[in-house]
Structure 1
Amino acid sequence: MTPFKRLGLSPGSDEREIKRAYARELKRCRPDDDPQGFQALNEAYQQCLRIVAQRAVAFALAATDEDDSAPPSAIAQTQPHPAAPTPPAAPARDASSQPAPKSRHQAQPASHEPHHADPAEPQARYFDLQAFLEELFDFAQRRLAVDLQRWLRDCEPLYSLDLKHALRAPVAHALAQREPPLAPAATDAIAEYFDLGALYDPDPRLRHWLAVASDRGARSVAFERILGEYRNAHDRLVDRWLFGELQRPAFWPRRALIALIPSLPSRLRGLLLRLQRVGPEWLERRLDPGAVGFWLRACDPERLDPRRIAIAAVRIPLYYLAAAWFVWLLMAYDPAPLQDIPRNIAVLFAAWVAAALGWIGLRRLQRWMAQRMGWDPFVAYTIVLLAACAACAYWLPFQAALIACVIGFVQARSRAAPVPAMLCFLIGALATIAVTPSSLLAYDSAAPLIPIAAATVLPLHDFALSRRLGVPMAQVRAGAGKLWRLAQILAAVAVAGFLLR
C-alpha cells in the first residue's frame, strides 16, 4: 500500500490535503489504542510530505531549465562525469589525476549505458532532497556554525536561486522535526542562509517551524547540561550512582542501595522533574525508560504506588532496627528497646500509610478548591489548617489558639499590602471578643475560637472579592483590595460590641 493510499488520497494531493487526511485518520488510529498502526500512519504521513517537498523542488528545477538562468554547474547533470563537487569537506584534488568526487545529493546518471548527449538537447536535472538534508544536518551536528555557513555558501547546487527558494519549506520542516535537535547556533546559521525568519515572508509556517526548531534546540542544550552535572561528577560517587541508574539498564543492587539511603530517592525524583520540565519528549529516549518510570512512580507523593509501598516496607523496619540497636548500646545492653519490635514496626508502617493518605487527600482537596472555587494553594492550605484548629480546640485549646495566631500573622505578612491585612486580623480578634457572650468566654475551648475567627477574615475577604470582580484570588492577595474598608467595619463592630455589653 502506498503512503497516499494509506491516507486515502490521490498521488497528486498537496500538503494541505495531506495534513487534513492525517488529522482525519489520527482520530481513528490513536497512539494509545494502536501503537503500531499509529507508527505506520505517521510514517506514511512523513513520506507523503517528503514526496510533496521533492515535487516542489522538481518544479523549481523545471522552471530553472525553462528560464536557463542558473549556471551550468548548479545541478548535477546526467553525464558520465559530474561537473563539480559539493562544499569542500576535504582538500581539493588534482582534476587531471582522477575525476572529481560526487556529492551525495547530486544526481547519478539516468542509465548505466554510455550516452552521448546532443549539445542542443536539454539535459535533465535531479536533486536528492533527502540526501541533501542528511548531509546538511550531519555537517551541522559535527562542525561549528562558522564552518556551516561556509559550507552552505560553497554548495554549488544552491547557486540556483529558484532551488534555494524551493528548499526553504522542506529545510524548515526538517529542522522542526530533527532528532536530536540542532544547536541554536547551527539553527540560526541555516535560518540566516535560507532566510527563514523574515517578517515579510507570506508563509507563516516557516516562522512557526523555525520557532519550534529554535525552542527544541535550546531545550536540548539545557537537557544535556543538566545531565552533564551528573555525568561529569568524577569526585561525587552519589552523582555517578544516580546517573548510572538513569542511563544504564536496571541493576537491582544499585537500585536497592539508592532506595534505602535517605534523601537519594527524592533527589533522583528532583532530577527527573527538572529534566521533565526542560524536555519531556526526551526523558525516555535519552534515558532508560524502565528507570524513569520506576522512580517517577516510586517517589510520587500524590499516589500510593506499589513501588513506593515496597520501599517504605523495607526502609521502616531497617531504620527502626538501626535506631533500636543504637539505643540498646547507649542503655548498656538494656533489653527494653528491643521489645515488641514487630508491633512497633507495624504501628510505624500504619502511621506512614495514614500520613501518606492524608497528604494525598490534602493535595486533591487543594486542586479541587483551586479548580472549582478559584482558590490559590495558599488560601486552600490556610482554610484546611484553620478547620483543623477549630476541630482540635476542645482538646488542645492553647495549641489551637497559638497555631491560629501564627496562621493569621503569616497570611497577613505574606500579602503585598501587609499593614491593612494586619489591622484586619487584630481588629477581627477584638470584634470576635466583643460579640462573644461573656458566659462563653469563661470556657477554655472558646479562647482558640477568637484567633481562628480573626484569621478567617482575610481568606473570606479574598474569596468574596474574587467572586465579585471575577479575578483569581492570587490577584486579590497581591493588592489591598477592600481591606481598609473592612478594617473600619470590624472596628465599628468591636466598638459597638463593647458598648452594648
Structure 2
Amino acid sequence: MWPYSELGIEATADERAIKRAYAIKLKQNRPDENPQGFQRLHEAYQAALQRCHANAPAAPATPAPTAPRPLPPLAPVAARSIEPPVRPSAAVAPPITFDADAFLHEAVACADANEPGRLRQWLESHEALWSLSLKTRVGQRWLAVVFQAAPPMPDGCFDEMLAFFRLDHAGAVRDQLMLQQQRKRMHLSWHLTPGRHGELAGTMGLKGIEQRRRATQALKRLQQPFRWRTVLTQAVWPQHVRSTNETIVRLAGQPPVALPPPVNPRQQEFWLKAASSGPFTRIGAAIIGARIAGALLLGLLLGVGLGAMDMVDAGRFDWASVGAMVAIAGSISTVVLGVIAWSQLTLWQRGFVPLRGMVGWLHLTLVPVLAGSALLVVDASDSPMAGWLLTVPALWLALARVLHGRQVATSLRPWLRLGIFLIYPVASLVASAVQVPVIMGNSLAGAALLAWAIDAWRRLPRRQRALA
C-alpha cells in the first residue's frame, strides 16, 4: 500500500522505522541524480509520517463481510484495493514554511569565506529544499536577487549556487550575457570590500610594489565623493589620470562595465573621460585649464621665493623675478596649448568628414589653401623664406592624411615626426647654401599638393558613398 510500498516497510512501522527507511531509499534517489524518484520518495515519506502521527491503522486488504459496525474511514480505499493504487496528491503533505530571503541572505554571508565546498554542504543541509518545487521557487528568487541587487560573492561560490539550484545548464537562464556580467560584478564587489585590496591586486596581475601602490591609490580616488575641485586637483598630474584609467580597465574590462560599490560611478565616469576625451570636451578643457592654472601658480610661487631671496641680499623685494617666472610659466603653457591644438588639427585632418557644409569643404581644402598661400608668398614677396611658415604645416597635414591607415612600422613613426619638425631648419640651411630659397619653397609646396591629391583620390569613393 502506498506510501509504505514506496518506502519498502510495513504499514505498522513507527516513526523511527519510517525515517530509517527514508534515509536508506534517499541514497538511491538523490535529488540531483533522480529528481522524479526523489519527489515520489519525499511525498511518500511525508504521507507516512502524517499517518503515523495520526495513529491511523492500515486498512485490511479485503473488507470484513460479517462486521456489523460501520466501515472505518479508510474502508472505501480498501474496498477498491484491486484497482491500481492511486498516489495521493502533494496536498496531503504538511505545509512547509521557508523564508527564502533570510536563507539567501545567510547564503551570501556563508559565501563570504570563499569556500565553495563548505557552501555546498551548507546548502544541502536544508531538508526543506529537498522538495523540487520549493527548490525551483527559491532558485528563481535567487536569480531575481542576482539581477537586482548583485550581492558580493566570489566566482567559485557563485558557481556553487547556480549548480545547487540547477541553473548552470543551457536554457535555465534566458539572459546568459546579463548573468555573466552580474557574476563579474559580484566578484568585483567581493574583492572591493575593505581588507581584500591585496587579493585584488593579485587578481589584476600587479606584481611590483610600485604597481600595487598606484593601484591602491587609484582605488581610493575611485571611492571618494565626487567634487570637481578635488578631481581637477588630482588630474593636474598626468600619471594620476593614467594609473586610475588603467585600474578601471583592469577591473571593468574593455569596454568597461559599471563597477560595483564602494566605487563611485561619477568618479569612474570622470577618470575614463579624462583619459579618452579630447581637449575640446567639457572634462578635457577643465583639466587643461587646471594644469595651466597650476603652472601659473607654480611660477608665481617661484617668483615670490626668488624675490624674497633678493630682499635678503639687497634689502628690497625683487618684483621683476615674480614677473619673469610668471611669464615663463605662461610661455610654457602657451606652447603646450599650441601643441595640443596642432595635434587635434592633425587628427581632424586624418579623419573622414563628409563633404557637406562649410566644415566638410574646409576639411578638404585646408591643405591646398595653405600650399597655395605659401606659393604666393614664396614667389611674389621679397622674403620667400616667410612662405615656408605655411609650407611646412601644409606638408605635415598632407603627409598625415596620406599616411593614415597605412602600415607604418612602429620604429619609423618617431623618425617621421622628427623629420617633419626638421623640414624647416634643414631646408633653410640648404636654401641659404645654394641661394635658391624660391626653388626649395616651391618644391615643398608641390610635395604637399601631390600628397594631398593622392589622398583625395583615395578618399573619393568614400565621399561618393557618403553623398549617396
Asked which structure has the greater CA Rg, the reply is 2
TM-score by length of 1: 0.46
TM-score by length of 2: 0.49
